[in-house]
């Protein structure tokens, strides 16, 4: 395993394109050795490009790629010794399951006894032990993907294991056990794992750090907890969490922050919004509008009026697994909150919701506002 | 499926089959006739309409007053096999490169380069034969098998490249990417993972090469004199002021037989979609 670094790496597929349209805008990231990372973001946000730059399938337009400090930018895919699993299973149709799994080791000139032992161990772990002699093309998509995964696992000296939405084609039931297996393997061998997914649960369930990407940029890098507790932008707040974070437009004057005509206390006092006088309409809203962000998990129902407690109208109730999601309206703005199922649905459509001060974060123009000293 | 449709379908197939097979059947019967059998109107049934004889077949295998087509046959075989093999090897390599890497020669991109290859076959052969003549003369290869092999490769290579580029473009790129991730050099990735999946494409290209190489008359006719004679030349040489239809028919049938056998043999490789399910 190795520490992978990207220094000012950017890529565009159309030569001569303006930098604002690059598939991957210049970025610097370090993936520490032995840690598990996830890249999340919508389709086309540059996740796969980033992986392919790491594995050398794509040569970056700009920047340097370092493995343990050694410059690998111009090295071939073969020399980088990376295992990668694609979204769709890739198998060598002319070979058997055994030959498929042995192929990466044969390419590295291992001796046949060592190959045999290793292939059998991995095949056993993947549940393919009794199908080694079958032609690989006869297997179904799930099992083919297991072979793809297996080819990544037979080499235990890889610099990193890159997985590009490997569970997309996998049957939901198998997905769960396969995910657990990937986690076990990553805990056992401690390879550097970079896992691309658009399923945030998949990502949150077994990675140490997440990188949320959008339009070829990393919006935020952090532990699942950091991304959940303090998303640095409204985008990350929307993307991580289900239902996504609530953002309420609030106003600010000399005496404080106001929501629906009532005072709202926040985690910290946002800096006074600077709306340029000439900006108006949507431009002004985007430029400097002040919003209060709070996770649906932290909104509480209150029984009596109090600080940070607002009257709300119940709009809808949705089942959400063991929880219920209540959609309410405060002063014309929608807010979601999560309730335990046993709490029951409140009677009547008027209720009181409490926004705990410690969990209300200020956002200015879609970005988490900085703490103002004093 | 209605009865009328079925009747129509089989009637159509029958008409089409006789249309295709007719000339061959006619050549086959003619090859067993003699001068009496071909003069004075068409005859169809052996022993009834005419008296069958193997004279035509004897004449092409060194019978008295005939010729021996065995040596021309072997010459053609050597030239076709060698030229096809060279074209397939060079053609697959070129095609793989054109399919997987980006090239630019001046304003020409990959697709233009492929078209440039194919455009070699657009030129009328007569344009090429004079330069070929001088080039072979310069190299001392006129009237020799190596000379004809070189010329035939030049004719077959565009076909091989064209067929194989199209075929490789349909093989998912992920397969060679995966092979390189697994630790192959690009060339090893090609040989070990792409070629085994390319049998149908190679078969098509080989078939084209064999047909064009085997049937070439013009270049062999212009670039050889006495030492080397190919089968098409030998067949044409059988002709005279009174055409010996029986020997010509026998020679023609003998001439196409390798291609017919080849077609029957390779058919199984064409229909097998080996690549289905390599990705996804």
Tokens of A301: 């129902």
* Coil, helix or strand at residue B94: helix
Instruction: Give me the pLDDT at residue A277, please.
Output: 44
Q: How many helices (H) and strands (E) does chain B have?
A: 13, 0
B276 lies within 8 A of chain A by CB: yes
Q: What is the DSSP letter of B193?
A: I
Q: For residues B55 and B259, what is the distance between their CA atoms, to the nearest angstrom?
A: 24
Interchain contact, B278 vs A104, CB within 8 Å:
no
B277 is a domain residue: no
Q: Which residues of B touch A90 (CB under 8 A)?
A: 172, 174-175, 177-178, 278-279
Strands in A62-67's sheet, in edge-to-edge order, are: A24-31, A4-11, A62-67, A70-71
Q: How far away is chain B from the Cα of A235, in angstroms, using its nearest Cα?
A: 32
Q: For residues A149 and A184, what is the distance between their CA atoms, to the nearest angstrom?
A: 14
Q: Which residues of B touch A82 (CB under 8 A)?
A: 181
The domain of B267 spans 70-271
Interchain contact, A141 vs B278, CB within 8 Å:
no
Tokens of A317: 């109730």
Q: For residues A266 and A222, what is the distance between their CA atoms, to the nearest angstrom?
A: 23
Interchain contact, B276 vs A137, CB within 8 Å:
yes
Q: What does the angle CA A310 – CA A315 – CA A316 come to, to the nearest 5 degrees?
A: 125
B185 lies within 8 A of chain A by CB: yes
Q: Which residues of B touch A101 (CB under 8 A)?
A: none
Helix (H) or strand (E) segment spanning residue B111: helix B110-119
Q: What CATH number is given to the structural domain containing B162?
A: 1.10.3720.10
ipTM of the complex: 0.76
Peptide linkage before A243 cis (omega within 30 of 0)? yes
Mutate to test the interface with B, among A104, A107, A118, A145 (most CBs of B within 10 A): A107
Q: How far away is chain B from the Cα of A154, in angstroms, using its nearest Cα?
A: 10
N-to-C CA span, chain A: 46
- Would you say how long chain A is, in residues? 374
**In chain A, alpha helices (H):** 47-55, 77-80, 97-107, 112-126, 141-153, 172-189, 200-206, 224-229, 234-239, 281-288
Closest CA to A324 of A335, A342, A338, A344: A338
Q: What is the DSSP letter of A269?
A: P
Q: For residues A46 and A65, what is the distance between their CA atoms, to the nearest angstrom?
A: 16
B136 is a domain residue: yes
Restricting to A residues 177-236, those with a Cβ less than 8 Å away from any Cβ of B are: none
B147 is a domain residue: yes
Q: For residues B231 and B254, what is the distance between their CA atoms, to the nearest angstrom?
A: 10
Instruction: Give me the pLDDT at residue A97, please.
Output: 93
- Give the dihedral sign, CA B129/B135/B137/B143: negative
What DSSP assignment string belongs to A133-176?
TSBGGGS-HHHHHHHHHHHHHS-TT-SEEEEESTTTTS-HHHHH
Other Cβ atoms within 10 Å of A300 Cβ, number: 15
Burial (CB < 10 A; 0-12, 13-18, 19+), residue A287, is middle
Q: For residues A369 and A269, what is the distance between their CA atoms, to the nearest angstrom?
A: 9
Q: Which residue of B has its CA nearest to A155?
A: B182
Total of domains in chain B: 1
Q: For residues A54 and A63, what is the distance between their CA atoms, to the nearest angstrom?
A: 12
Tokens of A371: 């703490």
Q: For residues A291 and A270, what is the distance between their CA atoms, to the nearest angstrom?
A: 10
Beta bridge partners of A367: A233, A364
Mutate to test the interface with A, among B178, B184, B187, B197 (most CBs of A within 10 A): B178
Phi, psi of B17 (to 5 degrees): -65, -40
pLDDT per residue rounded down to tens, chain A (374 residues): 789 999 999 999 888 888 888 999 999 999 999 888 999 988 888 898 999 999 999 999 999 999 999 999 999 988 898 999 888 888 998 899 999 999 999 988 889 999 999 999 888 888 888 999 999 988 888 888 888 888 888 887 888 989 888 887 777 877 877 777 777 777 777 788 899 987 787 788 778 899 999 998 999 999 999 999 989 999 999 888 888 899 999 888 877 888 888 888 888 877 765 544 444 444 444 456 888 999 999 998 888 888 899 999 999 888 888 888 999 999 889 999 998 887 777 777 888 999 998 999 998 888 888 765 44
Interchain contact, B196 vs A94, CB within 8 Å:
yes
B113 is a domain residue: yes
Closest CA to A182 of A198, A167, A168, A171: A167
* Coil, helix or strand at residue B105: strand
Q: Which residues of A touch B276 (CB under 8 A)?
A: 137
Closest CA to B114 of B150, B164, B154: B164
Strands in A333-340's sheet, in edge-to-edge order, are: A300-302, A350-354, A309-320, A323-330, A333-340
Interchain contact, A94 vs B185, CB within 8 Å:
no
Q: What is the DSSP letter of A23?
A: S
B46 is a domain residue: no
Candidate from B174, B179, B188 with C-beta closest to A86: B174
Mean pLDDT of B262-272: 77
Q: Which residue in this structure is represented by tokens 């990417």?
A: B177
Per-residue pLDDT band for B276 (boundaries 50, 70, 90) equals very low
Q: Which residues of A touch B175 (CB under 8 A)?
A: 90, 92
Interchain contact, B280 vs A137, CB within 8 Å:
no
Q: For residues A16 and B89, what is the distance between their CA atoms, to the nearest angstrom?
A: 37
Closest CA to A230 of A363, A70, A373, A80: A363
Burial (CB < 10 A; 0-12, 13-18, 19+), residue B103, is exposed
Interchain contact, A107 vs B278, CB within 8 Å:
no
B276 is a domain residue: no
**Contact between B58 and B52 (Cβ < 8 Å):** no
Half-sphere exposure of B111 (CA within 13 A, CB side): 0
B193 lies within 8 A of chain A by CB: yes
B108 is a domain residue: yes
b/e per residue, B172-205, with b = 16+ CB within 10 A? bebbbbbbbbbbbebeebbebbbeebbbbbbbbb
Q: For residues A238 and A243, what is the distance between their CA atoms, to the nearest angstrom?
A: 8
pTM tops 0.90: no
Candidate from A76, A88, A151 with C-beta closest to B182: A151
Domains, in order of start, for chain A? 4-231 (3.40.50.300), 242-368 (2.40.50.100)
Closest CA to B155 of B130, B201, B124: B124
Mean pLDDT of B175-200: 89
Q: How far away is chain B from the Cα of A161, in angstroms, using its nearest Cα?
A: 11
Instruction: Give me the pLDDT at residue B51, please.
Output: 82
CB neighbour list of residue A48: distance below 8 Å, 6 or more residues apart: A164, A196
B130 is a domain residue: yes
Q: How far away is chain A from the Cα of B95, in angstroms, using its nearest Cα?
A: 20
Closest CA to A302 of A257, A348, A355, A343: A355
Q: Which residues of A touch B274 (CB under 8 A)?
A: 93-94, 137
Higher confidence at residue A284 or residue B243? B243
Burial (CB < 10 A; 0-12, 13-18, 19+), residue A65, is buried
**Contact between B34 and B249 (Cβ < 8 Å):** no
Phi, psi of B33 (to 5 degrees): -100, 170
Instruction: Give me the pLDDT at residue A284, please.
Output: 44
Q: How far away is chain B from the Cα of A141, in angstroms, using its nearest Cα?
A: 7
**Per-residue pLDDT reduced to its tens digit, B11-26:** 999 999 999 999 999 8
Instruction: Give me the pLDDT at residue B88, please.
Output: 96
b/e per residue, B114-146, with b = 16+ CB within 10 A? beebeeeeeeeeeebeeebeebbeeeebbbbbe
């Amino acid at each position: 395993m190795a520490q992978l670094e990207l220094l000012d790496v950017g890529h565009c597929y159309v030569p001569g394109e303006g930098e604002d349209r690059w598939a991957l805008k210049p970025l610097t990231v370090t993936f520490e050795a032995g840690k598990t990372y996830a890249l999340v973001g919508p389709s086309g946000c540059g996740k796969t490009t980033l992986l392919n730059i790491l594995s050398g399938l794509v040569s970056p337009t700009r920047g340097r790629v370092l493995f343990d400090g050694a410059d690998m930018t111009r090295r071939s895919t073969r020399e980088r010794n990376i295992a990668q699993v694609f979204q769709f299973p890739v198998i060598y149709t002319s070979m058997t399951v055994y030959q498929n799994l042995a192929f990466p080791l044969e390419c590295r000139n291992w001796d046949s006894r060592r190959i045999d032992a290793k292939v059998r161990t991995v095949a056993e772990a993947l549940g393919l032990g009794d199908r080694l002699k079958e032609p690989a093309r006869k297997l179904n998509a799930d099992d083919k993907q297991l072979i793809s995964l297996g080819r990544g696992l037979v080499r235990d000296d890889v610099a990193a294991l890159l997985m590009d939405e490997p569970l997309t084609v996998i049957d939901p039931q198998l997905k769960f056990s396969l995910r657990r297996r990937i986690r076990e393997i990553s805990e056992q061998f401690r390879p550097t794992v970079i896992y691309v997914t658009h399923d945030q649960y998949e990502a949150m369930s077994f990675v140490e750090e997440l990188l949320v990407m959008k339009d070829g940029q990393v919006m935020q890098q952090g532990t699942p907890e950091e991304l959940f507790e303090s998303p640095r932008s409204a985008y990350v707040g929307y993307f991580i969490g289900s239902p996504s974070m609530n953002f309420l437009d609030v106003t600010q004057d000399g005496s404080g922050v106001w929501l629906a005509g009532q005072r709202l206390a926040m985690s910290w006092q946002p800096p006074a919004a600077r709306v340029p006088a000439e900006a108006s309409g949507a431009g002004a809203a985007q430029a400097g509008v002040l919003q209060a962000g709070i996770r649906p998990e932290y909104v509480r129902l209150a029984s009596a009026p109090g600080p940070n407690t607002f009257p709300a109208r119940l709009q809808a109730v949705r089942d959400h697994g063991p929880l219920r999601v209540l959609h309410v309206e405060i002063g014309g703005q929608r807010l979601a909150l999560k309730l335990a199922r046993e709490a029951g649905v409140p009677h009547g459509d008027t209720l009181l919701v409490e926004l705990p001060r410690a969990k209300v974060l200020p956002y200015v123009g879609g970005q988490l506002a900085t703490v103002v000293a004093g | 499926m209605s009865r009328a449709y079925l009747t129509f379908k089989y009637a159509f197939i029958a008409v089409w089959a006789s249309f295709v097979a007719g000339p061959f059947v006619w050549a086959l019967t003619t090859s067993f006739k003699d001068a009496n059998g071909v003069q004075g109107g068409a005859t169809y049934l052996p022993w009834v309409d005419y008296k069958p004889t193997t004279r035509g077949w004897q004449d092409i295998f060194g019978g008295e007053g005939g010729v021996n087509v065995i040596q021309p046959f072997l010459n053609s075989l050597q030239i076709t096999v060698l030229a096809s093999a060279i074209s397939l090897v060079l053609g697959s390599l070129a095609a793989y490169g054109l399919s997987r890497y980006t090239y630019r020669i001046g304003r020409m991109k990959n697709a233009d380069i492929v078209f440039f290859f194919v455009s070699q076959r657009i030129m009328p052969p007569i344009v090429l034969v004079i330069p070929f003549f001088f080039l072979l003369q310069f190299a001392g290869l006129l009237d020799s098998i190596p000379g004809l092999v070189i010329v035939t490769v030049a004719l077959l290579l565009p076909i091989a490249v064209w067929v194989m580029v199209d075929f490789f473009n349909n093989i998912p790129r992920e397969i060679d990417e995966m092979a390189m991730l697994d630790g192959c050099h690009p060339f090893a990735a090609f040989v070990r993972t792409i070629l085994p999946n390319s049998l149908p494409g190679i078969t098509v290209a080989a078939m084209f090469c064999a047909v064009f190489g085997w049937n070439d008359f013009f270049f062999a006719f212009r670039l050889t004199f006495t030492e080397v004679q190919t089968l098409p030349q030998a067949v044409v040489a059988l002709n005279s002021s009174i055409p010996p239809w029986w020997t010509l028919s026998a020679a023609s049938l003998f001439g196409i037989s390798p291609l017919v056998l080849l077609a029957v043999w390779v058919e199984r490789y064409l229909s097998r979609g080996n690549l289905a399910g390599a990705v996804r």
